[in-house]
Structure 1
Amino acid sequence: MMSNSIRRIANRTAIQRFYHRAAPLCKEGKTINNPNDDEDDSPPIQTFNKSPIVQKLWKTRDWAKRRVMGELTMGDDEYSSVSLAATEVLADNATSECRGSSSSVAKAGKTPQESHVGIEYPFSTDRYLLETYRNPWGEMRFGKILEDLDALAGNIAFNHVQGVHVMIVTAGVDRIRIRQRPKIGVDQYLSGKVTWVGSSSMEIRMVISECEDGTNEWLESYFTFVTLDPVTKKSIKICPLIPQTEEERVHFELGAVKAQAKKVARRNKIQVGRPLSEESLAIDIRAAELLDAAGPLLRMPSLADTSTILMDATAHSNAMVAQPQSRNLHDRIFGGFLMRRAFELAFSTAYMFGGDRPLFLEVDDISFDKPVDVGDLLVLKSRVLYTLPNGGDLGSYVMKHDGLPLVNVEVEAWVTVPETMRAEVSNHFYFTFALPNKSTCKMVLPSNIDQARRQASRLIADEIQAGLRP
């Protein structure tokens, strides 16, 4: 039984505002109630043990999906190897043959506003919600925010394709940036909409602000979704996006630039037996320089510069069995849960490395390579991938960080099968923190050519990323 505080969050439209406009569907004498109605006491079992925000988002999406598709909602078996299929779509999007939809909506296109969803955090009046999102230092618990972003993005994606029978899959998170420290006791507003659409993929932009109209935003995030045929798992064409305002056109053009940059990055990825491109050669040259700088640490550690450290010495890990309470609406492990656990490990890694409580600035390039199932043994491995001891430029949008030491932490999630002694990477995460009370930190150097290439690739990617938007 839900507490009164949770029930208030689940039912009051004044607290959580959603912009789904269609009426409930009556099917075979049974009414599917709007999730904002008090009569609906049977939310999906997967919403239990989730935050009130995620509960409401999933309940709304489940209601909308059943209203549109009736008994055609996706079954568990339809989501087998979905993440791998999404990866294939992103890799082959330029050349794959997309099947067009017969829907007139798909032909006409939709505006960004039609996918818009908003929700409020009434921190000033709801003590339970405030306690849920507060960290030990009385500030915002960003891991919980990551869960909400993942849940909201799914609702937004569904709004855009609503009316067409497609499978929507999270392909990755491009960037989440923090503009300023939020005030935990002040009401906050999370909202977002589709900002760019390709042939079978879409980009979703979400912001959190202290104003309901979206001004004074302090967080910006971009998620990428792909659409697949539920039966064949092949890419399927979705309705185009029709920007209406100047701001929407700017975001659309930015999405197109980023999509093109991803294609170039995939083509330039170093592969055995494939000639190096100019960009790949630049990565190799920089990797060689990093490995050369690590020479004293590798060969004569007692004589090496004490301000340097090998990457291996920064590593940490934890392991867990994926529990049913962490599953999503499709009975796979909730991507937001994975992001939260990865963030918490990355935060701890940066904390132990820098000796200063780290300041979270951004997360880049979260990939969903393989789905995680209930019962999987999940091993999270973290390490400091690179540091900028004298500071760096992450763009003017990111909160003031001039001159602060920067720490980039890589987290890998491995689905491990001890019975067969096998393990596969399910997710990659890259978090950037600042050390606000330190003037410098140790330089992290690679132990081998593989680490050197990963370090060089991330350094170059982050430099490019900082220049995409101020």
Structure 2
Amino acid sequence: MQRIARLKPSSLRNTTALHNIKSFDHRLSSVPWSQLRRYVAAPAKPTLLSPKFSIPWLKALELKEKNSVVKMEANKSQLTPKRMSDSYSSYTLEFGKDEWLVDSYVNATGQLRLGNIFMDLDALSGVIAYKHAGEGYTIVTAAVDRISLLHPPTSFCDMELRGMVTWTSNRSSMEISLEVVAKEENKTVLTCQFTMVALDPFTKKATNINPLIAETAEEKRIFARGEERNKFKKALASTSLEKQAPNEEESNLIHKMWRQQQHYKGMYSSNMSILTWRQKLDPGVGKPAKVMYMSDTEIQTTQIMQPQYRNRHSYMIFGGLLLRNTFELAFTCCAAASHSRPRFLSMSPSVFRESVPVGGILYLTAKVVHTDTAPTGGTRVQVRVESKVRDVHHSSLRHTGTFTYTFDTEADFQVMPKTYGEFVSYIDARRKAEAEQSWLDTRDEVPDNLEGSIVE
């Protein structure tokens, strides 16, 4: 079996190759086929999600139980300014050469599984953040500023993920701009920005990192865009309904929708299938089939967080797993509500409020919170996913983040709030949609003439 383990996985991916292996070495003749085939699905090379932990989980657990701390060498007394090019990293998914790699990124209908790409982008952001800040920190995902699908790929050609630090706050946070490029078509498939924060591994508090140098005119423009995005996020947060009451126009809209749903509510008897007196007076009145109550679109999922997806230097789950799970739940929610296949457009700026610990019970709740007519016909749908976590003993419930995804669907339908809380969610989503329309282009091209690779 040691001989098999040393062979390239590509040589183990068909029955003929397995026969050749057995005939080549008679010592393998007694090895069961089931054991040989264990190696068939092995990855062709290390991926972004390959373990990069400093110590195995069982050892980390033992140290944690003894209240020990894994000491990492770090020289934080002197912060060294870094260039954008210093953190540049790229990674190629060789879909065109490795059909078994495609298997890990394809969905049930033969299309690209975007959730796995989101996981890779978060992992690449971590690599870039460590390049800029250096080892000795705990790097966590603080926010995803935007994910925009620009040109959906038409085939599984090779795709390059690349990015670099494009803005820092001169304190603990850094913005990382990334893009996914289809190499065969030379088109930018997707762009996004992640905000990563450096924490002291001992105190778990935010700590200062190396400042960023912008030297060329292009780098200064990119840095300025990062500053604008930071201000935009703060302005967007200031308009949240948690801080600001609905304005007059929004209040009128809430009242109009409330009257409309009250009108629908009185259409049918609650305990028998007979017409109410209002229907008898006006038989043509009733809730249209295309109108759905917001509460009827809600779906939920629960999952225990296993150590395979932890952050490299901590006992917390890395943000990419949350992105994948929330996106796929949002997609499912939109499909169930519209009875059609959604097309992903973008992810609104979303904040990771708290980290999710290994062993925690994660609760995700998805709901359609806003609908509007899509420019090309059909419906533009916003789905919000709330993330909460408890420990395994089911003690206090903590809110860990809110993620909003936008889709286009061919179906023509409208979501209708019923409770005040749902009206607030609707108006808040409406504000985000209007704010993003005013922010026309937030992407920056990541230069492809910088050399760098994270493949080890």
What TM-score results when the alignment is normalised by the length of structure 1? 0.71
8 Å contact kept, 1:297–1:309: no
Which of 77, 91, 105 lines up with 1:102 in the alignment?
77
CA-CA distance at 1:147 after TM superposition: 0.8
* Structure 2 CA distance for partners of 1:154 and 1:455, relative to 1, 3 Å: same
Distance in 2 separating the partners of 1:350 and 1:193: 33
Name the structure 2 match of 1:328. Answer: 311
CA contact (8 A) 1:138 1:184 kept: no
Indicate if the aligned counterparts of 1:130 and 1:184 stay in contact, CA closer than 8 A: no
Q: Alignment length, in residue pairs?
A: 372
Map of 1:43 onto structure 2: none
Q: Distance in 1 between matches of 2:394 and 2:147?
A: 37
Specify the code of the residue in structure 1 equivalent to 2:48: V
Q: Is the 8 A contact 1:291 1:446 kept in 2?
A: no
Partners of 2:6 and 2:380 in 1: CA distance: 42
**Deviation, structure 1 residue 120:** 0.6
Q: Secondary structure, in 3 states, of the residue corresponding to 2:386?
A: strand
- Asked if 1:55 corresponds to 2:42, the answer is no
How far apart are 1:283 and its partner, in Å? 5.2
Cα deviation, residue 282, structure 1: 5.1
Unaligned stretches of 5+ residues in structure 2? 13-41, 56-62, 68-74, 268-285, 442-456
For 1:463 and 1:338, the matched residues in 2 are separated by 26
Shifted more, 455-464 versus 136-145: the winner is 455-464
Candidates 172, 180, 195, aligned match of 1:224: 195
Q: State how far apart, in whole Å, the 2-side matches of 1:154 and 1:191 are.
A: 12
The residue number in structure 2 matching 1:315 is: 298
- What do the CA deviations read for 1:322-348 (whole angstroms, capped 9, x no partner)? 223333322322321221111111111
Q: Which residue of 2 aligns with 1:443?
A: 414
- CA spacing shift, 1:333–1:451, aligned 2, 3 Å: same
Matched, 1:138 2:110: yes
- Sequence identity percentage: 29
Distance 1:3 1:425 in 2: 47
Shift of 1:197: 0.8
Residue of structure 2 equivalent to 1:380? 364
Q: What's 2:454 paired with?
A: none
Q: SS of 1:55's equivalent?
A: coil
Report the Cα offset of residue 145 of structure 1: 0.5
Tell whether the 8 Å contact from 1:173 to 1:365 is kept in structure 2 after alignment: yes
CA change 1:368–1:468 in 2 (3 A) is same
Question: Following the alignment from structure 1 to structure 2, what is the Cα–Cα distance between the partners of residues 174 and 283?
Answer: 26
Q: Which amino acid aligns with 2:261?
A: L
What is the identity, as a one-letter code, of the residue corresponding to 2:147? I
Alignment partner of 1:290 out of 241, 245, 254 = 254
Please name the residue that 2:150 is paired with: 179
Moved over 6 A (4+): none
Letter of the structure 2 residue corresponding to residue 431 of structure 1: Y
| 1:266–1:430 CA distance, 2 compared to 1 (3 A) | closer
Partner in structure 1 of residue 21 of structure 2: none
Secondary structure in 2 aligned to 1:260?
Answer: helix
Structure 1 pair 144–284 and aligned structure 2 pair: CA distance change class (3 A): farther
Q: Distance in 2 between matches of 1:319 and 1:241?
A: 40
Matched, 1:4 2:4: no
Alpha-carbon separation, structure 2, partners of 1:464 and 1:7: 53
TM-aligned CA deviation for residue 225 of structure 1: 1.2
Contact 1:208–1:219 (CA under 8 A) maintained in structure 2: yes
Query: 2:353 pairs with 340, 345, 369, which one?
Result: 369
Q: Is the 8 A contact 1:110 1:239 kept in 2?
A: yes
AA aligned opposite 2:8? N
2:380 aligned with 1:406, yes or no? Answer: yes
1:455 and 2:419 equivalent?
no
Separation in 1, partners of 2:400, 2:430: 22
Q: Aligned match of 1:343 in 279, 304, 327?
A: 327
Question: What CA deviation, in whole Å up to 9, does each residue of 1:260-301 have, x standing for no partner?
Answer: 122334444445xxxx7xxx3555742551353133324533
CA RMSD of aligned residues (A): 3.2
Letter in 2 for 1:264: A
Letter of the structure 1 residue corresponding to residue 116 of structure 2: K
The aligned amino acid for 2:302 is: A
My pick for the range that moved more, 294-303 or 181-190, is 294-303
SS in 2 for 1:53: coil
Counterpart selection for 1:210 from 153, 178, 182: 182
Counterpart position of 2:408: 434
Between 351-360 and 451-460, the greater mean CA deviation after superposition: 451-460
- Structure 1 residues 7 and 381, CA gap change in structure 2 (3 angstroms): farther
Q: Counterpart of 2:49 in structure 1: which amino acid?
A: Q
- Any stretches of 5+ residues in structure 1 without a counterpart? 9-47, 66-74, 80-99, 393-401
What's the CA shift for 1:190? 0.5
